[in-house]
Amino acid sequence: MNPSNFINKQKVALVLSSGGARGFAHIGVIETLLENNYEISSIAGCSMGSLIGGVFCTGELDKFKEWATGLQKADVFKLYDFTFAANGLVKGEKVFREIQQFLPDRDISELNIPFTAVAADVVDQKEYIFKNGPLYDALRASCAIPGVVKPVEIKGKQLLDGGILNPLPLNLIEKRDDELLVAVNVNACVPHHAPVRSPEEVIADKAFDRKVWTMLNKWLKRDKPATKHPKPEKLQEEKKKFGFFELMLRASDMMQDRLTDKMVELYPPHMLVNISRKAGGTFEYYRAAEFIEAGRQATLRALARHQWIKNEKVKSGYNRTATS
């Protein structure tokens, strides 16, 4: 890589949140920053944010994006390696074996860009920070959704999704004078400007969601045997009933939202990129291209806002100088 390519580029320390499938938006954020003359100098990530950040730091984001945007609904179900273990429905190994076919494992300390991932140590009840060691160990642990994916055992620790304790790990990045600290939250409570979708697409997506939640709840035998599905025209009107897993994940979402707000308050970034939680569901991995575009649009809005604030500060400085 030619060092001259980085002349006059603003360095960015990037923090990427948890968020399931919505985390594909992080790809759009990264691409947009690079296209606008920013250089990403370090990344800290949680859960899906750790996956996207870790892949980028290997230099293989393009390969990963090609794979992700090719996923269809049927492909998503094939990536679930079900287990009858009491501590999780999915082993969480199959998807990483699939990714390893085009992105070999490597040590975090040898990545092109400094990278940090966070998981939750459920025995010692504290953050478990990855700054070295096998990349895939860090990614699997950071992405292990409680109750859905089995905990990852490393050095005698039982590790789960980092979002339990730190969904937006701003505390893991040290602010530097020569860097812009950018945080990306794909769970934001902001309006979502959804692309136009056909009624057939909406119905198909709702049917996919129903299939996922029914499958999870059947594993616990919490639901009665499936009855007749409602007619498509009734699907939108159907009163929402939550199964055990959906209630658990929604409760987790509320907790993570509060933790995210607190992290932004304690460690305010220079720029915050918000992608709405309403952009899509946790398990809708087949919508990668749509989430990537949502990340791109959110980043363009954040960059415009950041530039406007800079300009206002400059104007204020001029005014003070003129009147002093």
Number of residues written out for the chain: 324
CA-CA-CA-CA dihedral for 306, 309, 315, 317, to nearest 10: -100
Residue ranges with strand state E in the chain: 10-16, 38-46, 115-121, 126-130, 152-154, 157-161, 179-188, 271-276
CB atoms inside a 10 Å sphere around CB 148: 19
Please enumerate in sequence order all residues whose Cβ is within 8 A of that of 153, keeping only pairs 6 or more positions apart, or say none: 159
Pairwise CA distance, residues 12 & 103, whole Å: 24
Catalytic residue numbers read: 47, 161
Please enumerate in sequence order all residues whose Cβ is within 8 A of that of 175, keeping only pairs 6 or more positions apart, or say none: 13, 181
Pairing of the two strands 271-276 and 115-121: unpaired
3-class state of residue 16 by DSSP: strand
Pairwise CA distance, residues 324 & 319, whole Å: 9
- Cα 302 off chain centre by: 18
